[in-house]
Structure 1
């Protein structure tokens, strides 16, 4: 089957969120923990990452955990913290290696590109603007905008409808085993797992990835090989 479209996750797929979080933590320490020594900074970094759960924990719950476990002189209110996070994190965002070259290659092949991302419109739109990649995408579906989150099958259906492609003609590329790979597979898309340096795939999950990549640029060779097989 010819692949007409590829839909991407955003965080930890197109963006290196881990690098962004390291920078965000530095920005958090500067105003709120200005006198921290290196040991304290390391402790703050560890506690933040434990609370953050790579972005999958609700930000209000993250705030609550940080208030309890960090040595604040005066902790921010939840609204102050959310405002700080939403303003700062897009400025910290880092592109995955070879992001633009991968997008350039796929566009040159006539592949329609889409994106599905869980998050707020303000934050995710700012990340996309900061990366300078909006023009590559035929459609971008943000969970807050449509009132549902991955792995809800409806959010994949919306992207497919906007791309005017069938699930069998579409690949989905993402990092989260359940939200991305299982969710996309349930909707009939062939899902490619961006594993980076994670543990091997959990075979107890109901679906398995069509392919696994460790770097985004591997997508070029996978697409090229598939395309050659179709000729």
Structure 2
């Protein structure tokens, strides 16, 4: 198999977004409680739910806009709508300050770079230079930049292939989402590896080209493919 390029999803694949978002929301809730006694009864779960409610209606919107709308919803609970700008600034400062690669990320990238061109492709607003991954990738693709829509749109993967300068058969995409990172990549002709860190049951009908629990497994998987006729 003539594999030349390995492209990675960002959040929950390369970087631990969940921990960063949780820490940022804890800071937001603390600031809300400092600003008004009315926020004392607001829970972290309610603030997390505000993201879910907004995202359900605006899944195709840029994630920064969705987060701002979710924060506005949280602030409206306690009459703090006018505080959106400083609260959003606090959230994003903490979110990026806390965003770090998973422990298996940098070692795996170091091994893979010896044999493959590496790419970074995300629906989100994680940027390698703000997440401990500066200068790790030959190219970066972001939804909502340059007219690129979010995954699972086929145009997203068309942009990936254009940046890679390779046919789909020479590119493998690695990510944590069965729909956005596996099925959509395969529909565009790419190979797809499902990174299943939590050991979840495979969704019905999902047939990744490979399933791994850690990025440390990826070099061996791809090496085996390259040796196959």
TM norm. shorter chain > 0.5: yes
SS in 2 for 1:124: coil
Measured in 2, the distance between the counterparts of 1:131 and 1:96 equals: 10
Aligned residues: 215
Match of 1:179 in 2: 180
What is the deviation of 1:112?
0.5
What is the deviation of 1:83?
3.5
Matching residue within 77, 102, 111 for 2:108: 102
SS in 1 for 2:6: strand
Q: For each residue in 1:47-72, what CA deviation from the matched residue of structure 2 results, as whole angstroms up to 9, or x when unmatched?
A: 2333334x966224423542366xx4
79-88 or 137-146, larger mean C-alpha shift? 79-88
Measured in 1, the distance between the counterparts of 2:210 and 2:43 equals: 36
Q: Which runs of 5+ in 2 are unaligned?
A: 60-65
- Return closer, same or farther for 1:133/1:25 CA change in 2, 3 Å cut-off: same
- Return closer, same or farther for 1:84/1:101 CA change in 2, 3 Å cut-off: same
Q: Which runs of 5+ in 1 are unaligned?
A: none
What is the deviation of 1:168?
0.7
SS in 2 for 1:173: strand
Aligned-residue Cα RMSD (Å) equals 2.8
170-179 or 98-107, larger mean C-alpha shift? 170-179
Whether 1:5 aligns to 2:5 is yes
What is the deviation of 1:75?
4.8
Match of 1:162 in 2: 163
Match of 2:216 in 1: 217
Match of 1:33 in 2: 33
Question: Within 5 Å, which residues of 2 pair with 1:146-161?
Answer: 146-147=146-147, 148-161=149-162
Q: For each residue in 1:88-141, what CA deviation from the matched residue of structure 2 results, as whole angstroms up to 9, or x when unmatched?
A: 3211202112211001000122x011111113xxx433xx11333232211101
Match of 1:115 in 2: 120
Match of 2:62 in 1: none
- Return closer, same or farther for 1:132/1:17 CA change in 2, 3 Å cut-off: closer
What is the deviation of 1:78?
4.4
- The answer (yes or no) to whether the contact 2:96–2:131 under 8 Å persists in 1 is no
- Return closer, same or farther for 1:134/1:156 CA change in 2, 3 Å cut-off: farther
- Return closer, same or farther for 1:189/1:117 CA change in 2, 3 Å cut-off: same
TM-score under structure 2 length normalisation: 0.80
SS in 2 for 1:63: helix
147-156 or 207-216, larger mean C-alpha shift? 207-216
